[in-house]
Structure 1
Amino acid sequence: MQRLINGFWSAMREHYQNFLHLLPQIMLALLVFILTLGLAIFIKRWLQPRILTQTKDTLLTGFLAQLGYWIIMMIGISMALGFLGFDGVVSKLLAGAGLSAFILGFALKDIGENFLAGILLAFQRPFRIGDRVESNGINGHVTSVTLRETIIKTLDGKDVYMPNGLLIKSPLINYSVDGYLRIDFTLCLACKTDLPQAVALMLRALNGVPDILQEENRKPEVGITGIGADVVQVKSTFWIHSFNPDADGVKVKNQAIQAVVGVLTKAGYEISSEVP
């Protein structure tokens, strides 16, 4: 028993001596890692405003800043491992990069796919930060793009973290790309309605809503889209500026419906809930 205890303490003393011997290297490696982390954060913050002076594309700017951050971090981690005596391990990892890439290609397929998709999104720029987009059943405004995912804030305030690969492989609708957004709504009027006069009243009401555009080829329109046994389906269409923060689509649509229903009701027209 005493022999076991003596052996245990002898082993502990040996490990302790080894630890003391390696302590300067550990401290140096830790210092290198901390300095690298600070440098990577500094480079990321330093790059963003300088890239923005060359381009106003915040999506590309954010991607390049993140890329610079991770390049500095990888260099610093490799140096820290070298100070700890793992330079041979680093060399073997680099030498076996081909095999590692082959193996990791299967294990981390989705991560690699999303990373490459993030690169494509950054350079193709199908949308900008703040654009309203729709894809895979998600409709909202783009708030951020990382190397792996795109963050979309939906119209009801939810943050959706959508993998970049899904955006590349699926149809993407950008409602803000040209600064215009078309909105429509449909009302059902009784068949006995004086349609020309009703249409004129509806157009007058739409023209009176402040944020509805009156530009050429983007003026409000009202037309008949369906006829039933007792009702006529009338559709109203108008445009707003999607870059205007005050011209919220939901708010303007509510104002337009209230204005149209108000003038029709005041004129004595009957609005039906029945759909032809």
Structure 2
Amino acid sequence: MENFDMSGYEDQAINIAIQLGSAILIYLVGMMVARMVTGFVNRAMEKKGIEKTVSAFVGNIIHGLVVGLVLVIVLSQLGVQTASLVAVLGAAGLAVGLALQGSLSNFASGVLLVMFRPLKVGDFVDAGGAAGTVESVTMFSTVIVTPDNKQVTVPNTSVLSGPIVNYSAKPIRRVDLLVGVAYDADLAQVKKILADIVASDDNVLEGEEVTIAVKELADSSVNFVMRSWVKKENYWPSYFDQTEKVKLALDAAGISIPFPQVDVHFEKSA
């Protein structure tokens, strides 16, 4: 019985092991390089003063491109014909692109959000049906954290397709209060009370216009508008404080604040 020659199989197994080991090594080094390149780009953009929103978005794109290149090199090391693979991936990419038009639209919207920057990380916005602080702008979605600490992920298309109200874009905001008093109230006295409340608010900016005036003669009340300007971070403290002081001051002066009432009359039948 002839001896079975194993030397050819051993050489082939060694070659396969070397290829597999090289592919694994290239993959591990490639992932490390991807992280290093992404980190370097992010740090470089931060040193240049580029906003975190832009640096994070660009970093994600660069990381994806480097990882894709590493995977192509790994497949080539394993003996896969990458030229034909690229052609197949191109055709598959076209089919996937047609099937994922929404995702591509979100990606394009994300690029536009980063380019034109109607919002950035840390801004308080009302966009895409959600109101809160922008936590991140990724390639496909914008993450917003609401005031009650709920995380809302909004597709970039939804953000860009509607109005974007950015409450943090300007350094100051106007506090608007509507105060209704009874028709028999002394209007001059009411105006003085409201003016004193605004003057006592340390957050109100000096030099900015303060408006206290009769806005309308409503069905059951005379409505005053009370407007003052504060720094954006002081908006809610001033809003709440002024609202409380209005109620306390009007009560102390004996001026009533009308509220809707319904009188029900019962007729006793004979």
Where on the TM-score scale, by shorter chain, does this alignment land: which range? 0.7 to 0.9
- Counterparts of 1:194-205 in structure 2, within 5 Å, are 194-205=186-197
Q: Which of 181, 185, 189 is residue 181 of structure 2 equivalent to?
A: 189
CA distance in 2, matches of 1:274, 1:235: 19
Measured after TM superposition, the shift of residue 184 of structure 1 is 1.9
**Cα deviation 1:63-115 (Å, max 9, x = unaligned):** 122222112111111111111122x1x32242245533431222221221111
1:221 and 2:221 matched: no
SS at match of 2:148: coil
Residue 129 of structure 1 aligns to which amino acid in structure 2?
Answer: V
- Counterparts of 1:81-92 in structure 2, within 5 Å, are 81-86=75-80, 88=81, 90-92=82-84
**Cα deviation 1:178-237 (Å, max 9, x = unaligned):** 222233232221011111221221122022122222333xx3322323323431122222
Q: Which of 54, 78, 95 is residue 48 of structure 2 equivalent to?
A: 54
Structure 1 pair 16–153 and aligned structure 2 pair: CA distance change class (3 A):
farther
* Correspondence for 1:40: 34
Structure 1 pair 106–18 and aligned structure 2 pair: CA distance change class (3 A):
farther
Q: Which of 73, 94, 97 is residue 67 of structure 2 equivalent to?
A: 73
Residue 143 of structure 1 aligns to which amino acid in structure 2?
Answer: E
Identity across matched positions, percent: 23
Residue 87 of structure 2 aligns to which amino acid in structure 1?
Answer: A
Q: Which of 70, 85, 101 is residue 109 of structure 1 equivalent to?
A: 101
**Count of aligned residue pairs for this structure pair:** 253
CA distance in 1, matches of 2:238, 2:133: 17
Measured after TM superposition, the shift of residue 17 of structure 1 is 10
**Cα deviation 1:113-138 (Å, max 9, x = unaligned):** 11111111111111121111112331
SS at match of 1:110: helix
1:212 and 2:204 matched: yes
Decide which structure has the larger Cα Rg and report it: 2
CA distance in 2, matches of 1:265, 1:184: 21
CA distance in 2, matches of 1:168, 1:271: 42
Measured after TM superposition, the shift of residue 21 of structure 1 is 5.1
SS at match of 1:263: helix
CA distance in 1, matches of 2:39, 2:172: 33
Q: Which of 25, 28, 42 is residue 22 of structure 2 equivalent to?
A: 28
Structure 1 pair 97–268 and aligned structure 2 pair: CA distance change class (3 A):
same
Residue 214 of structure 2 aligns to which amino acid in structure 1?
Answer: I
Residue 263 of structure 1 aligns to which amino acid in structure 2?
Answer: A
Answer yes or no: is the 8 Å Cα contact 1:188–1:274 preserved in 2. Answer: no
Residue 155 of structure 2 aligns to which amino acid in structure 1?
Answer: P
Structure 1 pair 95–157 and aligned structure 2 pair: CA distance change class (3 A):
same
CA RMSD, aligned part only? 2.4
Answer yes or no: is the 8 Å Cα contact 2:127–2:164 preserved in 1. Answer: yes
Residue 154 of structure 2 aligns to which amino acid in structure 1?
Answer: M
**Cα deviation 1:6-54 (Å, max 9, x = unaligned):** xxxxxxxxx9997765333222212211211111112222221211222
Runs of 4+ in 1 over 6 A off after TM superposition: 15-20
* Correspondence for 2:150: 158
SS at match of 1:272: coil
Tell which deviates more after alignment, 37-46 or 229-238. Answer: 229-238
Consecutive unaligned residues in structure 2, runs of 5 or more: 1-8, 262-270
Q: Could you tell me the TM-score, scaled by structure 2's length?
A: 0.84
1:251 and 2:237 matched: yes
Measured after TM superposition, the shift of residue 56 of structure 1 is 3.6
